[in-house]
Amino acid sequence: MSTTIEDIAASIKAARIAKGFTQKQLGERVGLPQSHISKIEGGSVDLQISSLVEIARALDLELKLVPRRTVPAIEGVVRSQRERSEASRVLATIAETNRFAERVRESYPSVTEVTELQSALKDIQAVNFTPETLKAIEQALQPVAHLKKHLQDLGWALEQQEGRKKLAQQVAASTRALQHVRNLQVHAIDRGSARRRPAYRLEDDAT
């Protein structure tokens, strides 16, 4: 599989996920089975131009032939736009998680770990959203995302002390992970500042 095919396949997959489509939903929009979409994203099939055009349109993309010398500039713009889109999506997830945390706090006031989670959610919004940081934030929120998905099913269990204990553990896990992400970036900034400081000189002791 060539790098070009890999790039196209990766771009299609990223655009599909950004639009919130499953492979089946994208396939229905372009008249292809889910299995074929999977092969396209895996780069294991030769993608016909007609199929590529249909997929691009379904994902609000446009195919253009451009001079090769302009490719780096275009890639930079696309990368920047993709990062802004990812950042917006993660910020929306953070806001949604905060709303969920507020509901939990009101329903189960004894789970004080929720307050710490909300504080961590506020702090994490101040970090520099690099692609690595965005991915780490999403991973950090997984325990709470799982809770949110299954909270209704767990309602009966949360009336028991053991159930609330497990809820608190999941919330605390996300809080620690978010704090870890923020601390890593703060320390990285501190190290960068230290490298920019002037070298230590013996004359400094003489003053």
Percentage of the chain modeled with pLDDT above 90: 29
Alpha-helical runs (H) found in the chain: 3-19, 23-30, 34-42, 49-58, 71-107, 113-124, 131-140, 142-150, 155-158, 161-196, 203-206
Q: Which residues contact 24 (CB under 8 A, 6 or more apart)?
A: 34, 37
Q: Which amino acid would we find at residue 150?
A: H
Q: pLDDT, tens digit, for every residue of 128-156? A: 888 888 889 999 999 888 887 776 665 65
Is the CA virtual torsion 38, 42, 48, 51 positive or negative?
positive
> How many residues does the structure list for the chain?
207
**pTM of the predicted model over 0.75:** no
pLDDT value for 158:
60
**101-131 pLDDT, tens digit each:** 998 888 888 888 999 999 999 999 888 888 8
Given a cut of 70, the residues of the chain with pLDDT beneath it are 1-3, 151-160, 188-207
pLDDT of residue 145: 86
Say what the pLDDT of residue 2 is: 47
